[in-house]
Copies of this chain bind each other. A is one copy, B any other.
Amino acid sequence: MLIESAFRYPEAAIAATAPHSPEVAALVGAARPCALSYYRANEVIYAEGDAAGPLYLVVTGAVRIVRLTPDGRRQISAFHFAGEVFGFEAGAEHQDYAESVDGTGVQVLRPQSASGFGNCALALALKSLERANRHLVLLGRLSATERMASFLIDLTDRQGADGFVGLPMQRNDIADHLGLTFETVSRVLRTLKDKHLIRLARVDQVEILDPDGLSLLNA
């Protein structure tokens, strides 16, 4: 949907491979070695209509998975960070877009032994399904504040950080992920700040001051 070129990068430019979960390690083992691609911000990794098949491992950076309504409204079904796998598709063609959020290194995974790959893929597909199902609750039943609290807690858990959470995506992306407008995202962050639950160290970095307080808002 945006700029298209995805040029190769010297592997050295990509940070040391993130530690993988057992499921990801198994999948990588069952895949044959493929290109490691680097994308700058807002490039298309695959588009709606592209042939599905290979999976993708995020090595560095962040990826957003995007669906558009016919009239252009946007829903980001998920973000993926280093160590996570995306690209699952039921049919022959992708129904969504995968785009880099920031500078992003992506490893393509193609099946080596068909059966082994499939079995590893199942575990990860089920994780994606679980994620999606939890997000359905968020979109269907949580208030704006609760959505943001959930999102921040989720990011904290996945980034395994020290109380700081990176927000590499812009407010608009967060809004389209949480089913809100970017103005509301901005306002909610302000109220969380006013309640001393978070601190906005930078526009793209949040410090979690009170994880328990945030959890109470979570749902």
Q: Is A125 in the interface zone, CB < 8 Å from B? A: yes
| A115 to B67 CA separation, bound complex (whole angstroms) | 33
Chain A contact residue count (CB 8 A cutoff): 41
Known: A125-B126, A133-B132. A141 touches B77 (CB 8 A): no
A85-93, A102-110, A153-161, A206-214: which one contacts chain B?
A: A85-93
Contact string, A73-101, partner B, CB cutoff 8 A, digits 1/0?
A: 11101000000000011110001100000
Given contacts A89-B130, A130-B95, A140-B75, contact A115 B125 (CB under 8 A): no
Asked if A142 is an interface residue, CB under 8 A from chain B, the answer is: yes
From A27-35, A116-124, A183-191, the one touching the partner chain is A116-124
- A interface residues with partner B (beta carbon < 8 Å): 67, 69-71, 73-75, 77, 88-91, 95-96, 115, 118-119, 121-123, 125-130, 132-137, 139-142, 176-179, 219
- Beyond A96-B133, A125-B129, A136-B139, list 17 extra A-B contacts (CB 8 Å): A67-B134, A69-B141, A75-B137, A75-B140, A77-B137, A88-B129, A90-B126, A90-B130, A118-B122, A122-B125, A125-B126, A129-B132, A132-B132, A136-B136, A139-B139, A140-B176, A141-B179
